[in-house]
Amino acid sequence: MELIIFIGLQASGKSTFFRQHFAETHLLVSKDLMRNNKNPSRRQAQLIKEALRAGRSVVVDNTNPKVEDRAALIQWGQVYDVQIIGYYFKSQVECCLERNQQRLGKARVPDVAIYATIKKLTPPSYTEGFHQLFYVQIVAEFRFKVSSFLN
């Protein structure tokens, strides 16, 4: 069983990668699906706990830029003793801004949101409790390259 945590700027390709690689096997947990919830962090923790308790693997698809954001998730992986895996979407800011501009409707976020996330973004590290970490890069139209993460 796995608790997978995505880390990356808005429009770095996280949700697209989820659909390509995990939609069939893992439950999607994302604050983007809780826009009307008063306490998304609490709801998110609840969904993670329920899934892991029921034996389902989970992907947490948020920007998760700060060590604290990830610590709140990693603790549940430790409680349920599952593999804790991080995917770090390494993307240039300009590319994210450009992909964001191409999105339609609610999918598009204000540019300031991307700049705010850059300021908060700390790359993940094994010291946080991850069992495995991967880099993800966009290499071509809807093609991702996954490589191992050394730190």
Ligand X SMILES: Nc1ncnc2c1ncn2[C@@H]1O[C@H](COP(=O)(O)OP(=O)(O)OP(=O)(O)O)[C@@H](O)[C@H]1O
Q: Which residues bind ligand X (CB under 6 A)?
A: 8, 10-16, 32, 63, 99, 102-103, 109, 138, 141-144
Instruction: Rank residues 14 and 99 by Cβ distance to Mg ion and give the closer one.
Output: 14
User: How far is 85 from 92, CA to CA, in rounded Å?
Assistant: 22
Instruction: Rank residues 63 and 130 by Cβ distance to ligand X and give the closer one.
Output: 63
13 binds, options ligand X, Mg ion, none, Cβ within 5 to 8 A by partner type: ligand X
User: How far is 1 from 48, CA to CA, in rounded Å?
Assistant: 12
11 binds, options ligand X, Mg ion, none, Cβ within 5 to 8 A by partner type: ligand X
Tokens of 114: 């991307």
How many residues sit close enough to Mg ion to count as binding (CB under 5 A)?
Answer: 2
111 binds, options Mg ion, ligand X, none, Cβ within 5 to 8 A by partner type: none
Query: Among 18, 21, 53, which residue's Cα sits nearest to residue 32?
Result: 18
Least distance to Mg ion, CB of residue 126, Å: 25
Number of H helices, E strands in the chain: 5, 6
Least distance to ligand X, CB of residue 78, Å: 25
Burial of 112 (0-12, 13-18, 19+ CB in 10 A): exposed
- Choices 12-20, 72-80, 110-118, 133-141; region in contact with Mg ion by CB under 5 A: 12-20
27-29 vs 58-60, strand pairing mode: parallel
